[in-house]
Amino acid sequence: MIQATRVSWHYGANPVIDGVSVTARPGRVLGLIGPNGSGKTTLLRLLYGALRGGTGRVAVDGDDLGALPPREAARRLAVVVQEAGGETALTVAELVLLGRNPHLTTFQRTGRTDHEIAAQCLTRVGATHLGSRAFASLSGGERQRVLIARALAQQATHLLLDEPTNHLDIRYQHEILRLVRDLGTCAVVVLHDLNLAARYCDDLVLLGHGGVAAAGTTEQVLDPAVLEPVYGIGIQRLDLDGTIHLLFHPTDQPAVERTASRV
């Protein structure tokens, strides 16, 4: 479990996150949603300790995140961020194998089991065929799958992802998020696509104006009355076969008129 209690972060004099409290529970996927600039990525960075010096407390399974040694933190938290990777000279297989480092002692080398785990993780994200390729030569979507494979190889108890579907086509958007959900770990995911959040998240935190506009189950938060004031757009909700689907329309054109105009 990850618990953030009244965390805040300012860029200069501008508060981005102000007194926010969230809880990511074991075996559930928590989605962080909200408009651009609402602080989703900033909050995620606070949850895994990339930002230090703000106020409030982040705890992982009851232990203060700031007090955990780096290797222990890496055993508990695996992170996939959008800007990771860079222009490294490593091959895909070598990069994924780095995910095993938290499980090695200072001078220990990776062994057969580590290589097998890395290979299995590449298979799980559909990237086995990329193993010998240079990571720098990959497309954006290919890179994203490889970075997720590296996180899986880490075998951490918590998984945090910043827009994991970025650069992916529709098939892999669903495959990656289904994989995250089926892992059964405590996962926190930043998402822009509310329909993907509806399908794959158990709980949601809706951010707006530097704070939490709503928090609860996906069923509770994806309510047009809750979403419309934050996003500034009209929203119609359909519940089909147990899944929430959201339709969007300009606020000056009701959903009924929009639907009628298409007939």
Q: Residue 12: which residues within 8 A CB-CB, separation 6 or more?
A: none
- pTM to 2 decimal places: 0.87
3-state helix, strand, coil in the chain (%, to 5): 40, 30, 30
Check whether 137 has a pLDDT greater than 80.
yes
**With contact defined as beta carbons under 8 Å apart, do 214 and 226 qualify?**
yes
Q: How confident is the model at residue 262 (pLDDT cuts 50, 70, 90)?
A: very low
Q: Residue 214: which residues within 8 A CB-CB, separation 6 or more?
A: 204, 205, 206, 220, 221, 226, 230
User: Tens digit of pLDDT for each residue in 64-77?
Assistant: 999 999 999 999 99
Sequential DSSP letters for 216-252: EEHHHH--HHHHHHHHTSEEEEEEETTEEEEEEE-TT
User: Tens digit of pLDDT for each residue in 33-55?
Assistant: 999 999 999 999 999 999 988 89
Nearest CA among 150, 189, 196 for reference residue 173: 196
